[in-house]
Amino acid sequence: MRFNLTIAAKLAIAYGLFLAPIAYLGYQMVADKEANIGFAQKEIVGVDYIAEVRAVQDAVVRGAVMAGLAEPIKANEAARGGDLKTGPASDALLKALAGTDRPAAAQAGADLISKAADGSNLTLDPDLDSFYTQDALTVKVPTAVAGVAGLAAAVASTSRQVGASLGVAIAGAIVSASLGADTIAGAGFPAATHAVWWIVLGSGLAVGVLGWLANTRRAQTSARLTAGMMETAV
């Protein structure tokens, strides 16, 4: 079957056949760019989300009141968490902030940061150099910060135990020296403990004086200056 087409029709068909692949390639390019833009926008949301959680985790480690840190997490989750699927991890952090276990709260913050990185495509970075950078910032550093919180708690607990042990040992040595070898403990023990009680009283007064000195205007100014220098150094 033959079609009697005019020259104009034949040229239109030829142009159409030439332009079809170009149009298809153009469509594919635009679709690919839109996908990349969407990918990058989700990464930006993840970065903003993680920045808020990092601030809370840092505050936990620095000794801030944990109950007051729940509102920023709730606001952050409401503003950015819907697309990141961080709900369960956010709830775990809020539960930890409601308690008194700082290492657990710091670790919950690290877990939430890792979850946000997964949900925002940050962990899918195809560039190897930037992948290691984001891995350090979203996994290694938050985990290290949580470890510092655990270490601080362990040091504090160990210090209390060592202090109690030293106190018992020193008090026992003083009482034993006061009793003497030929003194019956049952009769002279109350009088022998008087020196220990004077030491406890003097230590309490010294702690009170140091506490007062640490809260003077000059001490607080020095603490702020030192904190500023440490943050600048970090």
**Spatial contact of 203 and 167, defined as CB atoms under 8 Å apart:** no
Whole-model pTM: value is 0.60
For residue range 14-70, list pLDDT tens digits in order.
888 888 888 888 888 888 888 778 878 888 888 899 999 999 988 888 888 888 899
232 shares a domain with 131 = no
124 shares a domain with 20 = yes
141 shares a domain with 197 = no
The burial class, CB within 10 Å (0-12 / 13-18 / 19+), for 73 is buried
Helix axes 102-119, 141-179, angle to 10 degrees: 170
Within-domain flag for 220: yes
- Distance (Å, whole) CA 149 – CA 138: 17
Q: To the nearest whole percent, how much of the chain has pLDDT over 70?
A: 88
Identify the domain boundary among 123, 152, 181. 152
Q: State which of 45-49, 144-148, 182-186, 218-222 shows the largest mean pLDDT.
A: 45-49
**Spatial contact of 89 and 152, defined as CB atoms under 8 Å apart:** no
Within-domain flag for 177: no
Within-domain flag for 165: no
Domain that holds residue 208: 193-234
Within-domain flag for 142: yes
Within-domain flag for 187: no
Within-domain flag for 115: yes
146 shares a domain with 230 = no
Mean pLDDT of 154-169: 76
199 shares a domain with 119 = no
**Residue 234 pLDDT exceeds 60:** no
Within-domain flag for 234: yes
DSSP for residue 69: G
- Distance (Å, whole) CA 125 – CA 130: 7
Determine the residue type at 119.
G
Within-domain flag for 101: yes
139 shares a domain with 57 = yes
* Number of domains observed in the structure of the chain: 2
Which helix or strand (DSSP H or E) is residue 70 part of?
A: helix 70-80
143 shares a domain with 48 = yes
